[in-house]
Structure 1
């Protein structure tokens, strides 16, 4: 549908019902619960979630662990620099049994937390905490007592928990988050790095 003017768009929008507008925009659901976890306490949080609910970080719709070690390191370094916004610290999960009373009898989802979005970020932080990623050549414990000690408040991930009851709802949400964007290919990043280098001269 195309519109030749703002007036035409306004006329069409007035004719659409609230339900039709909702179907057009397809707003994403809000998380039912959000909680921040400091990086140092991340593994304990995941163990507790696994024990209390169940945990699947790589459900079949996830692309798996695809970031290279270099990408993981870049994410940690950018987090330390303050480049990563709060949105870049969110990990989204679904848990159909988040509230047992609201779980539907015909839900076709397995019980427990399923990672919907943020697996690469979560994995990068876990690999850093495990000593496998060394930002600026330094292991996690070497930053203790500095401004970049992971016990400081700026090093947190936010877990956003949804309670979708049906697989199609989870997949719709996943596609809405991931199908629209275009990742930057390496050559584009290198082109911009060249522009940055030229600007410094």
Structure 2
């Protein structure tokens, strides 16, 4: 342990979205993947994207029949205001071409929206949900305010249905890593999606349901002060990080130390019943429940947050602390931890106060293999305090 105290405590910066604090500390993953074995350049033959045109009616039918998935319970869709939604509809009525959409095709022929989710969700809500959708508001050029789809003249309805959308379809033979990189390249419009939001859009229902059930646990919400349903899906990412390290282990990360790649691999594992049986999923969820229960038992309201000596206020959740301490505490018996709680807290706070290497490991370049390894070793060591 590096015992020389830092001259100045590193500033804790809370992430903000849409003007609101998110409760999660900004993370600097840095260039931790710089020493990942080179798997690029991609083979051009493996990158298969075709361009097609679909009528909006066709697209909406595909959504209704389930052959085009809009990534259910995606929170970011709620960010659009009524005026933004209405102006999208107005653009369609004015026959202003919309930016191209991107779909990922599955091996079974079904599609998932990987770019254009908010636009398609908005149009589907307006046209097909009708009374449950929204009424036009704040339109700039057309006098159709306060109207639902069914209130529009027939010629307007027909124009909406006949609108042609340009869709780039990513072939199912495209490797997952390539597909993820394609998404990151095109993810530039509006407010760009973060890494977990991208994974959510590109994953299957099984992984989404597993992560959703993990973050819906009372123990998780107690330990994180109610993070379930986080608008940027930071709750799902934290659950996924636990799953990745619990299922794959540190050796797997060290072999290819890049957090995005590691979490993509874990997501694919959660999606595949052959790679991860239902019994193993139950074991994962039980371990996660134990980790959350134990974290709150030991650290109470400061669980997964920086809490050096002398600090009394509660900092935002730190994802590096979450992954390392949840894994460290998961195997322990609660009665054992309760008897040693004071010693564990003292060891952890002392490390957060005076161990500069540890502070670096949970603050900057958090994906660096040496820093990941150090913070996991430190949490495991401190969890044994008082034994």
TM range, smaller chain: 0.5 to 0.7
Query: C-alpha separation between the residues in 2 aligned to 1:167 and 1:126?
Result: 28
Q: How many residues align?
A: 135
> What TM-score comes out, normalization by structure 2 length?
0.30
- Check conservation: 2:93, 2:160, Cα contact below 8 A: no
Structure 2 unaligned runs (5+)?
Answer: 1-40, 137-144, 192-387
Q: Which residue of 2 aligns with 1:144?
A: 153
Q: Which residue of 2 aligns with 1:45?
A: 62
Q: Which residue of 1 aligns with 2:80?
A: 67
Gap change, CA 1:182 and 1:144, over 3 Å in 2: closer
Give the drift of 1:177.
0.8
Query: C-alpha separation between the residues in 2 aligned to 1:163 and 1:48?
Result: 21
Give the drift of 1:154.
4.9
What per-residue deviation string (whole Å, max 9, x for no partner) do you get for residues 135-189 of structure 1? Answer: 222111222323x22356653434432114322112111110125x675xxxxxx
Which of 175, 182, 188 is matched with 1:173 structurally? 182
**Are residue 91 (structure 1) and residue 101 (structure 2) matched?**
yes
Structure with bigger gyration radius: 2
Give the drift of 1:123.
0.7
Query: C-alpha separation between the residues in 2 aligned to 1:152 and 1:178?
Result: 26
Query: C-alpha separation between the residues in 1 aligned to 2:163 and 2:178?
Result: 31
Gap change, CA 1:161 and 1:126, over 3 Å in 2: same
> What TM-score comes out, normalization by structure 1 length?
0.53
Q: Which residue of 1 aligns with 2:165?
A: 157
- Check conservation: 1:37, 1:156, Cα contact below 8 A: yes
Q: Which residue of 2 aligns with 1:18?
A: none
Query: C-alpha separation between the residues in 2 aligned to 1:34 and 1:182?
Result: 23
Gap change, CA 1:167 and 1:156, over 3 Å in 2: same
Query: C-alpha separation between the residues in 2 aligned to 1:30 and 1:138?
Result: 42
Q: Which residue of 2 aligns with 1:34?
A: 52
- Check conservation: 1:33, 1:162, Cα contact below 8 A: no
Tell me: higher relative CO, structure 1 or 2? Use CA pairs within 8 A at least 6 residues apart.
Answer: 1
Which of 49, 60, 70 is matched with 1:57 structurally? 70
- Check conservation: 1:38, 1:150, Cα contact below 8 A: no
What per-residue deviation string (whole Å, max 9, x for no partner) do you get for residues 104-146 of structure 1? Answer: xxxxxxxx42211000110110111122222222111222323
Query: C-alpha separation between the residues in 2 aligned to 1:56 and 1:143?
Result: 27
Query: C-alpha separation between the residues in 2 aligned to 1:57 and 1:153?
Result: 19
Q: Secondary structure at the match of 1:32?
A: strand
Gap change, CA 1:150 and 1:120, over 3 Å in 2: farther
Q: Which residue of 2 aligns with 1:122?
A: 120
Give the drift of 1:76.
0.9
